């Protein structure tokens, strides 16, 4: 792969068929990165003005219980509603409309207002993983697609710093997972094996893009990564969706998340922003080739305040990156597994 580190080239994402331009010659050597943590006041463990904290009244008027672990509720201002009033219209190639009934839920990861997923204990992260699986199984009985995701940080548009994620369920499979499903099915027909199981085996063998490896999981900077420190979470064996994870796989996933997310925070010594979400087999029977996986898309590039933008060429042609995925993985891999503000105080 020496030539790939030295001159511009394109890399293909086999999950989507899309390409990314990689331009390593724009960097004479990997940058060290300035540490410019944004000024921010320490958050209290409970914020009386936070609509996600235990016992507080939400914006929609409902009062949260005094929850002590994860807490799930239906979003007061959902993007999807169960009874869509839009009817499918007769075929009009330039003005197609289709209904999209669904529901949206909020998952509070912890009653603590001042923590992030990276700062929770292993047992608390496991509870979040179990909640994702339970919610996905429940919603999947009614909706073909269940999207679990988290937007962390102001840079990713999070409207509240309380540790939380969302789950949106819909009758139609959205565009991106539909494309991934298509390419996984095509690969299965061509090779009689799973695209992402094969990919995980190759990444484990090569090791150059692996950030964290556990008994059941890999976290890698994918070969086709667009965002500078993007990662892909992969089970090592076939698993179609979150509810299929065994108890040992869930515990091991919790370990991997802790080790990976702490590395992110240590990179620029900041609560690293990202969008994080799961893709698994839809609940409509179209599961051929599907392998569970998660995408983490962080925007930061050089420091806590310098981020990557997709503009110009990237909006009009295709995504482009300078730092190679191999260099990004090396930098993440080198980070300690104790969070920067906990060194000398032990782990949480």
Per-residue pLDDT of 1-23, as tens digits, reads 557 877 899 999 999 999 999 99
1 or 145, which is more confident? 145
CA pair distance 196, 203, nearest whole angstrom: 10
Query: Which residues lie below 8 Å from residue 285, measured CB to CB, with a gap of 6+?
Result: none
What percent of the chain is modeled with pLDDT above 70?
93
Mean pLDDT to the nearest integer, 201-220:
98
- In this prediction, residue 211 has a pLDDT band, given cuts at 50, 70 and 90, of very high
With a pLDDT cut of 90, the percent of the chain lying above it is 79
Tens digit of each residue's pLDDT (9 = 90 or more) over 237-282: 999 999 999 999 999 999 999 999 999 999 999 999 999 999 999 9
Mean pLDDT rounded to a whole number for the chain: 92
81: number of Cβ within 10 Å: 12
Distance CA 267, CA 250 (A): 26
Mean pLDDT value across residues 47-64: 95
* Highest-pLDDT range among 17-26, 295-304, 329-338: 329-338
Please report the pLDDT score of residue 293 as a whole number.
98
Assess contact for 300 and 229: CB atoms under 8 A.
yes
Specify the DSSP class assigned to residue 300: B
Residue 149: what are its φ and ψ, rounded to 5°?
-155, 165
46 is known as an active-site residue:
no
Domains and CATH numbers, the chain: 45-84+97-337 (3.30.428.10)
Catalytic residue among 113, 162, 164, 295: 164
**Residue 157 burial by CB count (10 A; 0-12/13-18/19+): exposed, middle or buried?**
exposed
pLDDT single digits (tens) 223-237: 999 999 999 999 999
Q: What is the mean pLDDT of residues 175-199?
A: 98
């Amino acid at each position: 792969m020496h030539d790939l580190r030295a001159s511009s080239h394109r890399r293909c994402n086999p999950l989507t068929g899309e390409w990314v331009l990689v331009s390593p010659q724009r960097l004479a050597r990997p940058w060290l990165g300035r540490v410019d943590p944004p000024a921010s006041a320490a958050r209290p463990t409970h914020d009386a003005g936070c609509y996600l904290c235990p016992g507080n009244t939400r914006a929609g008027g409902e009062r949260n219980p005094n929850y002590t672990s994860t807490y799930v509720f239906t979003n007061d201002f959902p993007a999807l509603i169960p009874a869509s009033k839009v009817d499918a219209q007769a075929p009009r190639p330039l003005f197609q409309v289709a209904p999209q009934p669904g529901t949206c839920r909020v998952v509070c990861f912890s009653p603590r207002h001042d923590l992030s997923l990276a700062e929770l204990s292993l047992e608390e992260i496991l509870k979040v993983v179990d909640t994702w699986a339970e919610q996905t199984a429940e919603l999947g009985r009614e909706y073909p697609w269940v999207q679990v995701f988290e937007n962390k940080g102001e840079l990713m548009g999070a409207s509240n710093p309380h540790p939380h994620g969302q789950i949106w369920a819909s009758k139609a499979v959205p565009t991106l997972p539909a494309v991934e499903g298509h390419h996984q099915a095509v690969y299965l027909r061509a090779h009689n094996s799973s695209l992402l199981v094969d990919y995980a085996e190759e990444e484990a063998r090569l090791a150059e893009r692996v950030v964290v490896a556990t008994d059941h999981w890999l976290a890698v900077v994918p070969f086709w990564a667009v965002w500078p420190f993007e990662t892909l979470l992969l089970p090592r064996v076939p698993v179609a969706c979150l509810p299929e994870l065994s108890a040992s796989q869930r515990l091991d996933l919790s370990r991997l998340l802790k080790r990976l997310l702490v590395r992110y925070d240590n990179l620029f010594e900041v609560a690293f922003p990202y969008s994080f979400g799961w893709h698994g087999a839809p609940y409509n029977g179209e599961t051929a080739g599907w392998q569970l996986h998660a995408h983490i898309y962080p925007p930061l590039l050089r420091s806590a305040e310098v981020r990557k933008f997709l503009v110009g060429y990237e909006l009009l042609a295709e995504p482009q990156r300078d730092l190679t995925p191999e260099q990004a993985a090396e930098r993440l891999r080198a980070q300690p597994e104790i969070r920067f503000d906990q060194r000398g105080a032990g782990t949480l």
